[in-house]
Structure 1
Amino acid sequence: MRDSRLRRPAVVPDIVSGTVELTTTPPLVQRPSGIGYAKEHPADRDRRGVLWLRVASNPDGARGRPEFGRVHPLRQRRVMRRHLCQICSRPASRTALGTLWLIEDHRGEGPDWPEGCATVHPPLCVACAEVSVRLCPHLRDGWAAVRAQDPQIQGVYGQRYTPGLLAPRAQGPGVVRYDTHQAAWVLAASQSITLYDCTLVDLP
């Protein structure tokens, strides 16, 4: 009898990394201006100068089996920047109210929520959103469908560092805004977007 654990999942988000898409991050070096790699490539930093995890490139497009707990940094940046669906990579749903996001439900944070909230989860099309609310682990404790007319990429999520005696010291992961000093001391893994002009909506 075939083990069901070996079956390929029915839905695999495009931003999920595969088993052959390994991170190959070299040791970090410490500079007066922040962290870096001893031998950096142009693709190691984004347009705003933040250092990113390196990911092995597979010219044949092979990804291996999906690892749902690991987001692919380059694909996450691409769909976030272009407002593509994080699952199918087609254009995310957009109406007069804005682009569609699914986020954890934090309505208890105040009457203005979700205005100005930040998320590392890219937008979705309606069809993939309907699948996500049934299958996505990070939505199991409650979710909200939000349309944002003015989403702005303002930071990254990654491992934060501070200057050490001989090498940078890790301070734990978190979201860092581009307009802060900490941006020079973070090793980014995902892009963070802030949602403005928000409307809570129902899924069809």
Structure 2
Amino acid sequence: MNLPNKLSLLRIILIPFTLLFMLPVSIYGWEPEGWNSFINNYGMTIAAVIFIVASLTDFFDGQIARRQNLVTNLGKFLDPLADKVLVISVLLGFLALGRVNAWCVMLIVFRDFMISGIRLVAAAKGEVMAAKMIGKVKTFVQMVAIIYLLFEPLLLRIFTGEIHTYPLPVCTVTVIGDVFFYLCVILTVVSGLDYLIKNLDLFRNSK
């Protein structure tokens, strides 16, 4: 396994660690007080750092693969899979905490699977779908939104001097988070429709 593929695999390995520090433990009513207190104090900040590291592996694996001619079929499968699982897992974590809207998360998940399906159809026809600018903007805003949401408890602690647990209070910090998240959702829908409309011929010409 070459270095880019190892970086993609590392991104997948970091996912459970991100969720571990995002979510307090509650198993059939059993809640370890010491651990959950640690999570409430520092968990989201640690999760944010892990998520940033995981996101950086996404940048470097592609750069290394292209510059050193290490593009492989495994990499073509592993890289987008790691991206989607990372983002969807963290969004589901926020959903479990009650921080984001379920319908919005469903839209993001549906869009990602739809694009993956379109790419598979294109690949079967020997065509390559180049990344669209709107898709790149969506990905950037999505990463910014997730990182901001992960840092929200720390920002609240800095500005209020208090430790806040979920659900977080409605204030400037969380409103900014909402703006980032809903902007991400809007770009997700727009970019999804853009991909679909511009690739309708793939389905019209299917036999």
Fold conserved between structures, TM > 0.5:
no
Which structure dedicates a bigger proportion of its chain to strand? 1
Instruction: Report the TM-score when normalising by structure 1.
Output: 0.27
Q: TM-score, normalised by structure 2?
A: 0.27
Greater helix content? 2
